[in-house]
Amino acid sequence: MMLLLLLLLLLLLPPAPAAPSPESVAAVNPCCYFPCQNKGVCVRFGLHQYECDCTRTGYHGRNCTSPEFWTWLRNALRPSPAFYHYILTHGRWFWDLINGTFIRDFLMRLVLTVRANRIPSPPTYNSAYGYISWEAYANVTYYTRVLPPVPDDCPTPMGVKGRKRLPDPGLLAERFLLRKSFVRDPQGTNLLFAFFAQHFTHQFFKTSGKMGRGFTKALGHGVDLGHVYGDSLERQHKLRLFKGGKLKHQVLNGEVYPPTVMETRANMTYPPGVPLHRQLAVGQEVFGLLPGLMVFATLWLREHNRVCDVLQAEHPSWADEQLFQTARLILIGETIKIVIEDYVQHLSGYHLRLKFDPELLFGVQFQYRNRIAVEFNQLYHWHPLMPDSFVVGDREYSYEEFVFNTSMLLDYGVESLVDAFSRQPAGQIGGGGNINRHILHVAIGVIEESRELRLQSFNEYRKRFGLKPYKSFQELTGEQEKASELQELYGDIDALEFYPGLLLEKCQPNAIFGESMVEIGAPFSLKGLLGNPVCSPEYWKPSTFGGETGFNIVKTASLRKLVCANVKTCPYVAFHVPAPAPGERPREPSSEL
């Protein structure tokens, strides 16, 4: 039993990265070789010399490759990510026992601290500053970066490895990312999950087109529900009713829906030809794009106004402003709980039952501030989730019929759309070859953005997050033909780009994507969630949320409660498709339209 607990203590710690052989640095900027390992920082001296700053890395030596004793011991005992993924996704009976004991809290604390500590805090770099600077720290109009840009005087786009010209982004997308036939996610992920992911992340992934790709318009840098309330005070005021703390709304057939653009004067993105009475206004200006996004916008609008009613009943002396502000804090807390206990739980496939309890971190060192990173934005482009068409009721909608279809929400209602999206399978993200042609341009844009911002290679990011770099494209993909084509295009596995690497990596067994997406993405996610102010000791108390009633709304939140508390009849709602009855075929579109 003690041996098992020791393994559980270590199972979520990252493995030691492999140390490369020293390179000659006589001809070019020596930092182009990325000689400093294990988070060591390369500092250039003169024209051809460098030093590696190994401070607090647990390593020493010229290239930070010699481990200190405790680092060596930890590396020797640490299991691989594949091992602990297997442990966490098998033996349900064992985890059912663990989930009912104090060990669950112990493991959850370990998950949170180990994952979150992989993200630098305070932030270190941005796309203009590849070294520590006050500007990189203080200028929140930038996305931050975990790794600095590739130096702009390197002989190849990835430093010194690979070809002098990277493959054409369109060619890469067509050959390796374009869907030939739909591959459903083996974990049973559905479209409701896909729309939740897109809705949730658009509050902090808002690249500024005017300022450039390294900049963000979402200055909150985290879960602030700017996609519900607007990302500026001016937009917020346009959406507020200024009565009872509530948001503006309209009532159609006895149900609450978002107000129109005409009523609010809040700017939204709609193409010409959309009737004015169908142009709904919500916090995020692009949510009219997809009915699935507007479903969640409507649910959170209803939830805000419902919570305001609860608060006003308990605090009749409160003014509109206090009701509004307190309701917003409650909804932020609800969001974080749903994301951890429903969304991340499903995504992980773990039998360990994840738990949202900020008090787990109150006894450890933790910073309650977050900055959104370019790498997290790149990583989260999960467009393989989208199907080839959309099934609602007895009808199948093509992309042309679905996009900017503002009538579907009002014609079908929230219940019907939630039920339909919960039953339709989403696509597998990893493994490549699963993006519908209608949205392939998004993947091309991500690749172009990564080049403009000079992101380091996929293997450099694997090393940064404690993973062993891949030695070949065959090892990456698990396929010989695809590996040979990639080798021809890139010339070296160490020249493979970050985003293509994430999508082309072979999936873990019966999983939605590969090892790197989990090991790189989870730290960003958990740091951003638990680093929210509402999770801090100063905020996490009943008075913040208007008393025990409001506090309990947060602590008992779930996806199902969010939906069922705000509709007339509770539909099937989950982030996974329902298990088919005996003899029943899974519900999927008949074909690409």
Tokens 């309650």 -> residue: 368
Take residue 424 and report the two structure tokens written for it: 């339709």
Alpha carbon 109 to its chain centroid, in Å, reads: 20
Q: Which residues contact 89 (CB under 8 A, 6 or more apart)?
A: 349, 350, 351, 510
Query: Containing H/E element for 586?
Result: none
Please report the sign of the dihedral spanned by the C-alpha atoms of residue 255, residue 261, residue 264, residue 266. positive
Kindly provide the residue ranges of all beta strands, DSSP E only, lying in 210-360, ordered along the sequence: 250-252, 255-257
**Of 27, 10, 165, 135, residue with least CA distance to 76:** 10
DSSP state of 385: G
Q: Distance between CA atoms of 185 and 419, rounded to whole angstroms?
A: 19
φ, ψ (nearest 5 deg) of residue 286: -100, 5
Phi-psi category of 393—alpha, beta or left, where left has phi over 0 and alpha has psi -120 to 50? left
Amino acid 535 reads C
Identify the three-state secondary structure at position 362.
Answer: coil
Q: Distance between CA atoms of 487 and 484, rounded to whole angstroms?
A: 5
Q: Annotated catalytic residue: which of 50, 59, 143, 380?
A: 380
Q: In degrees, to the nearest 5, what angle opens at C-alpha 299 toward C-alphas 330 and 397?
A: 150
Q: Distance between CA atoms of 222 and 201, rounded to whole angstroms?
A: 9
Take residue 330 and report the two structure tokens written for it: 């409650």
**Of 336, 245, 309, 244, residue with least CA distance to 539:** 336
How many CB atoms lie under 10 A from the CB of residue 395?
Answer: 11
Q: Distance between CA atoms of 329 and 87, rounded to whole angstroms?
A: 36
Rounded alpha-carbon distances, angstroms, from residue 295 to 230, 457, 570? 17, 38, 15
Known catalytic membership, residue 438: no
Q: Annotated catalytic residue: which of 85, 199, 202, 346?
A: 202
φ, ψ (nearest 5 deg) of residue 133: -155, 160
Alpha carbon 190 to its chain centroid, in Å, reads: 17
Known catalytic membership, residue 461: no
Catalytically annotated residues: 202, 380
